[in-house]
Amino acid sequence: MTEHMSGAIPVDAFRSAFLTLLEEIFEVRHDLVLDPGETLRETLASITAEEASRVPAAGLAPICAQVAHIVFLIDEQLRGQPTEGSAWADAWSIQAVSADEWSALRDQVRDRYERVCQFVTGFDSWDANYLGGALALLAHCAYHLGQIREALGIIRVE
């Protein structure tokens, strides 16, 4: 950035861009970053509880743990306070799910996505801390979507 740049990004412009990217990661492709069929909702809908519970390869977490981690991450961001190390580790504790548990976990992801959208829609005090948290949330969720899709590819090849 150059020194002579001044002014702030209008909150509505940031909000619109953030919500569009978040929506693409979670729900509806806008041809910005994902290929067809790759949103989190579409990906999770295609995964069975058995697949979600399988370890894709040595050292990799099962898909259900990745999804539980996304829920934990969003909860942490909405609280606005970092979680202690032991709680962060506990976010990975789900290693297998039944069909009902898998359905509930997918519902939790949808609920957390909706909570983030509600928060962002009604929030106007975007200081550096909140902006950083929002960008971290986008990056982290996109990363885990990639991890989930990669794990699914490994599982379905076997």
CATH number of residue 51's parent domain? 1.20.120.450
pLDDT in tens, 78-92: 887 666 666 777 778
Euclidean distance between CA atoms 35 and 82, whole angstroms: 32
C-alpha dihedral sign at 7, 78, 73, 49:
negative
- The total number of structural domains that make up the chain: 1
pLDDT in tens, 94-118: 999 999 999 999 999 999 999 999 9
Say if CB 27 and CB 41 are below 8 A apart: yes
pLDDT in tens, 28-70: 878 777 777 789 999 999 999 999 999 999 989 999 999 999 9
| Structural domain span for residue 129 | 11-157
- For residue 128, tell me if it sits in a domain: yes
| Per-residue pLDDT at 91 | 77
- For residue 6, tell me if it sits in a domain: no
Whole-Å CA distances, 79 to 24, 63, 74, 109, 121: 23, 25, 9, 16, 16
- For residue 2, tell me if it sits in a domain: no
